[in-house]
Amino acid sequence: MFEACADPKSIEGLTWLTCYLTSGKHLDFYWSFVTVLALLAVTAPIAMGMGFLGAMAARSHVAPIRWIGKGYSAMVRGVPDIVYFMFFVIALDQGIEYVRHLMVCPDLSEPVFRGMEFHVCAEAKVPLATASPFVYQAYGFFLAVVTFAIVFGAFVANVIYGAMQAVPRAQLETGEAYGMSHRQVFRRILVPQMWTYALPGLTNLWMILIKATPLLFLLGVKDIVYYARELGGTKTQAYEFPHGDWRLYYFLGLLVFYLVMTKISETLLGRLAARLSKGQATAAGEAMRKAAI
């Protein structure tokens, strides 16, 4: 990055450390923190939306829709997360390529599935073999967002469904007695009230989502854990910046990063919980009223 860093083996001290920390690999390492934060920022609202739809489906009076909603939540909760992280990536990737194969490949005489192998024409590959590394990373990030959203959306659906069930039935009946329609009761009474009950569970899911981000490596995305392991490993004279085994220091840095993330999350979500509990007929709201007396 700097002229003094042209020959890393001829420098030492603070200059060596500066050149080491500003190398291309380290810039990728710093950028991977942005990737993790972007994943959280994109996945959380999508998972929340999927969870809300799943909870409404589970409460539906139409039996097939109710079965789909409850089945979606139960299916994901009953299987280890890592199985879904591996399964969805392979299934989604092959599904996209299979559809492209049907659309762009002129010769469809050869079967796509040949025994245990999956073959599509070169034009149907996603991304294409000529694509840039950025496209490969962006595609991997897309698969990661979809996978995380599907898995965590199921847990969100279960939390929101339980929160909706926790809203006192008397409040809903009071709204109906005043002439509100089912939609008005749902929008003006049920949804505003249920957030108070749902927030503790959603807070736990947010913390779990933060801790699950290292699974990006399994999905083909070079995340902070991948770079910490690669950069911290022992480097011999064959490398530009030879050093011993420094993985301990890199992983200590990741420890601090995740602790700071969880602390900030706890503070912000705690304030949100206090705001939502104000005036509500819940244990938290009662505690706030007693504290004010």
Any domain includes 219: yes
Q: How many CA atoms lie within 13 A of 182 on its CB side?
A: 3
Residue length, the chain?
Answer: 293
pLDDT tens for 83-122 read: 777 777 778 888 888 888 888 877 667 777 777 777 787 7
Q: What was the pLDDT predicted at 26?
A: 87
Q: For residue 189, what are the contacts with CB-CB under 8 A and spacing of at least 6?
A: 167, 171, 172, 175, 180
CB 150 within 8 A of CB 76: yes
- Of 90, 115, 88, 113, nearest in space to 101 by CA: 113
Total Cβ atoms within 10 A of residue 72: 21
In angstroms, rounded to a whole number, what is the distance separating the alpha carbons of residues 117 and 45?
A: 36
CB 233 within 8 A of CB 242: no
Report whether the peptide linkage leading into residue 200 is cis, meaning its omega lies within 30 degrees of zero: no
Estimate to the nearest angstrom the gap between the alpha carbon of 17 and the chain centroid.
34
In angstroms, rounded to a whole number, what is the distance separating the alpha carbons of residues 139 and 249?
A: 31
CB 236 within 8 A of CB 242: yes
114 phi/psi in degrees, rounded to 5:
-115, 95
In angstroms, rounded to a whole number, what is the distance separating the alpha carbons of residues 52 and 44?
A: 12
- Of 206, 226, 227, nearest in space to 217 by CA: 226
117-118/113-114 β-pairing: antiparallel
Residue 143 sits in a domain whose CATH number is 1.10.3720.10
Q: What was the pLDDT predicted at 243?
A: 83
Amino acid of residue 38: A
CB 166 within 8 A of CB 208: no
pTM score of the predicted model: 0.80
Overall number of domains in the chain: 1
Any domain includes 154: yes
- Strand-pairing partners, residue 60, are none
In angstroms, rounded to a whole number, what is the distance separating the alpha carbons of residues 20 and 108?
A: 52
Q: What was the pLDDT predicted at 97?
A: 84
- Strand-pairing partners, residue 113, are 118
pLDDT tens for 138-181 read: 888 888 888 888 889 999 999 999 998 888 888 888 888 888 88
Tell me the residue ranges of DSSP E strands in the chain. Answer: 113-114, 117-118
Any domain includes 8: no
Any domain includes 63: yes
Return the structure tokens found at 4: 């003094």
Q: What is the mean pLDDT of the chain?
A: 83
Any domain includes 5: no
Q: Is the pLDDT of residue 48 over 90?
A: yes
Q: What was the pLDDT predicted at 283?
A: 53
Any domain includes 273: yes
Return the structure tokens found at 118: 């999956």
Domain that holds residue 158: 13-292
Q: What was the pLDDT predicted at 261?
A: 92
Reported confidence tier of residue 292, pLDDT bands at 50, 70, 90:
low
In angstroms, rounded to a whole number, what is the distance separating the alpha carbons of residues 21 and 23?
A: 6
Q: What was the pLDDT predicted at 43?
A: 92
- Of 53, 44, 90, nearest in space to 73 by CA: 53
In angstroms, rounded to a whole number, what is the distance separating the alpha carbons of residues 216 and 32?
A: 10
